[in-house]
Amino acid sequence: MKNTVFLTDYAWPNDSVERQVIENAGFRLVTGPADPLSAGEIEGLVREHQPDAIMTCWARVSSEAIAAGPNLRIVARLGVGLDNIAVETATSRNVVVTNVPDYCVEEVSDHAVGFALAWTRGLVHFDREVKAGRWGPSSAKLRRLSTLTCGIIGFGRIARMTARKLAAFKCGIVVHDPYVKEPGEGIELTSLDELFSRSDIVIVHSPLTDSTHHLVSREKLSLMKPGGLLINVSRGGIVDTDAVVQALRSGHLSGAALDVLESEPSVPPELLEQSGAMLTPHVAFSSDASLIELRRRGAEEVVRVLRGEAPQNPCNRTTK
């Protein structure tokens, strides 16, 4: 019998790229609905199809789902973060977990810098004003990016590209990452509290873990200069949304540019009411080029493992 690959969900029109890679390798692809099912429903489908491999975009692959697949050899994340996969359970069962860590470096860093420019130049604000029939250039409260300090939380691949692009605008750059010792020329490594207190713009590029949940809290936001901007293009759970709403409502933050929310796809009404909120629907990773690369490389990892080869991007390095 052919090895079965289960694609839990997908954030694109169809499964054609994944299907071509998987079926050309001689394997069978079973695809769930585009919108992610619940963890329990994913577990049920694993029990039904008994896959040798799982590919997942947003759907949660729980410990129960992994245990329900005795033939399972790999769980491949079609993305970077692993917060929707029970990695420890997979590791304990010698199931390889992979991701595609560098497919969207350009896109996410562009999104972060785009948010910063939209704020400094008032692009979203004035678009709303003009469309509402108000032509008021004298109301401009614009900023020169080169005079500002940008603080970056987390300093991996994407964050380094964001810093490189921001450097072209000649702004100051400080970073916080407990795993980084040498951030590079012109970039200062600092404590988290000092980063918040010195930054006009704070950009979140950190992964979501138990230690980073609500890392951006009321306490941390209160350290920022009045009128600053928070950007999150990483994971929603890193930021306390209620704290952001409070900071926007009080005017302590003049802007919050969020591509991700801890409640997504639901958006809190209190956040929608804030004129300083710039919101995009978790699309920072997306472009025509990045999606093709992501889907192809994610499926190719599955093929390698099912053929008995080593994956290129293992995320649980203790697996056999």
Q: Which residues are catalytic?
A: 235, 264, 282
What number of CA atoms fall less than 13 Å from residue 14's CA on the CB side? 4
* Contact between 145 and 171 (Cβ < 8 Å): yes
Structure tokens at 136: 């008021």
CA angle 148, 152, 155 (to 5 degrees): 145
Residue 285: C-alpha distances to residues 64, 67, 122, 294, 313 (Å): 29, 30, 24, 10, 18
In this structure, are residues 75 and 97 in contact, taking their beta carbons and an 8 Å threshold? yes
What is the radius of gyration, based on Cα positions, of the chain?
A: 21
Residue appearing with tokens 């929603």: 236
